[in-house]
Amino acid sequence: MTESVQSEATDSPTIPSPLPWQAEQWQRLGAQWRAGRCPHALLFSGQPGLGKRRFAEAFAALTLCEQPRDGLACGACRGCRLWQAGSHPDFLRVEPEKPGGPLKVEQIRQLGGFVGRTSGREGARVVWLAPAEAMNVNAANALLKNLEEPSASVIFLLVTDSPSGLLPTIRSRCQSVAFPAPAGEPALRWLHEGGLDDRAARRALVLAGGAPLLAARLAEPESRELREQFMADLTALAQGGASSVTLAGRWEAPGDAADLGQLLQFWQHWVSQMLRARSCDLTADEQIMGLLQRLPGSGSESLRPLFGFNDQLLRARQSLVGGSNPNKRLLIEELLIRWAKLFK
């Protein structure tokens, strides 16, 4: 048994640790944990790409470690080896069956068995659940029952990019742990260590709204290629050389390199650059300047439709994360039609 655990563990990722910009949250929670004052439900929230899931994993590993060292899971004890093998009996991971799919009420009901039984050892049992906003009302109500009648040794770690997409009754039963975007320096240093040069790191970080993990993904060639294709299509649409309906079919599900929400984030980034370039008389990159030149009119009055479009993009992004589950095809088609109209 020990042998099989060890041999599996050699192929497994190491014990997760918090990221450099999460030190404050880590110290605070670690102190609560050591003092035996850890709340039975924690809600980790912040924009995508900050490493909240990894933080929650690291914290789970810490609570399951039998001899933590320097405030971190030791990586060597029985608890840590079981964790590395992905077979710790006191850890339960709850996530959608398909990426981007819902967390179903059946999945939440199955928690009952885990929460209700007694641990094989003395210690915590941990439920890791992400993304929490993927629960519909039925699933959320099923979870609420567990949160209302806490079992002493169970800790719920909920992770969300969008706390407003959760039932207020869920939020109020969790201790909130907020993850703001880090200041530039630790994020840039981390991206440099990952192999990005300074210019690429800074560009990606701006595009990612300051979120380092997202920035690292956006700097990958597949992501860059996808943005170039999307920009080319938006430019063709602005020039009257493409159809909104055709493009909506192409972009409603952009593929592995990005989801629709990210695509809209890129789009909004470009629109902001257009607004800045026109209103402050700055020079942006060639494609942005090309689009600006196609906008009818001049002066600040001509920017009003573009501001309106920026608002629509923002609302569309919010609806994608808000749990209202909009029709994606319709959503992007409406945006593309309005985009084309801006240039007429």
Among 9, 42, 58, 65, binds Zn ion (CB under 5 A): 65
Q: Which is nearer to Zn ion, 9 or 73 (CB)?
A: 73
Return the bridge partners of 126, or none.
91, 155
Work out the burial of residue 204: count CB atoms within 10 Å of its CB; fewer than 13 is exposed, 13-18 middle, 19 or more buried: buried
Q: Which is nearer to Zn ion, 73 or 216 (CB)?
A: 73
Stretch that binds Zn ion, among 58-66, 153-161, 240-248, 331-339 (CB under 5 A): 58-66
Q: What is the C-alpha to C-alpha distance for residues 165 and 62, in angstroms, rounded to an integer?
A: 28
Asked if residue 85 binds Zn ion (CB under 5 A), the reply is no
Q: Which residue has the tokens 């909104």?
A: 244
Q: What is the C-alpha to C-alpha distance for residues 160 and 98, in angstroms, rounded to an integer?
A: 17
Name the minimum Å distance from CB 238 to Zn ion. 57
Query: Residue 332 half-sphere exposure, CB side, CA atoms within 13 Å?
Result: 24
CA 275 to chain centre: 27
Adjacency order of strands within the sheet including 91-94: 91-94, 125-129, 154-160, 41-45, 175-178
Name the minimum Å distance from CB 65 to Zn ion. 3
> ∠ CA 53-169-331 to the nearest 5 degrees?
65
Residue span 155-184 as binding mask against Zn ion, x where in contact by CB under 5 A, dash where not: ------------------------------
Among 5, 72, 74, 167, binds Zn ion (CB under 5 A): 74
Name the minimum Å distance from CB 70 to Zn ion. 12
Q: What is the C-alpha to C-alpha distance for residues 140 and 169, in angstroms, rounded to an integer?
A: 9
Q: Which is nearer to Zn ion, 21 or 83 (CB)?
A: 83
| The amino acid at 131 | P
CA 183 to chain centre: 18
Stretch that binds Zn ion, among 73-81, 197-205, 292-300, 319-327 (CB under 5 A): 73-81
Q: Which is nearer to Zn ion, 80 or 226 (CB)?
A: 80
CA 45 to chain centre: 9
Asked if residue 211 binds Zn ion (CB under 5 A), the reply is no
Stretch that binds Zn ion, among 61-69, 110-118, 135-143, 255-263 (CB under 5 A): 61-69
Asked if residue 80 binds Zn ion (CB under 5 A), the reply is yes
CA 323 to chain centre: 14
Cβ neighbours of 284 (radius 10 Å): 17
Q: Which is nearer to Zn ion, 73 or 208 (CB)?
A: 73
Q: Which is nearer to Zn ion, 63 or 223 (CB)?
A: 63
Name the minimum Å distance from CB 109 to Zn ion. 31
Task: Characterize the bridge pairing of strands 41-45 and 125-129.
Answer: unpaired
Name the minimum Å distance from CB 80 to Zn ion. 3
Stretch that binds Zn ion, among 62-70, 139-147, 180-188, 257-265 (CB under 5 A): 62-70
Name the minimum Å distance from CB 82 to Zn ion. 10
Q: What is the C-alpha to C-alpha distance for residues 158 and 115, in angstroms, rounded to an integer?
A: 15
Return the bridge partners of 160, or none.
45
Q: Which is nearer to Zn ion, 61 or 115 (CB)?
A: 61
Q: Which is nearer to Zn ion, 65 or 132 (CB)?
A: 65
Residue ranges binding Zn ion (CB under 5 A): 65, 73-74, 77, 80
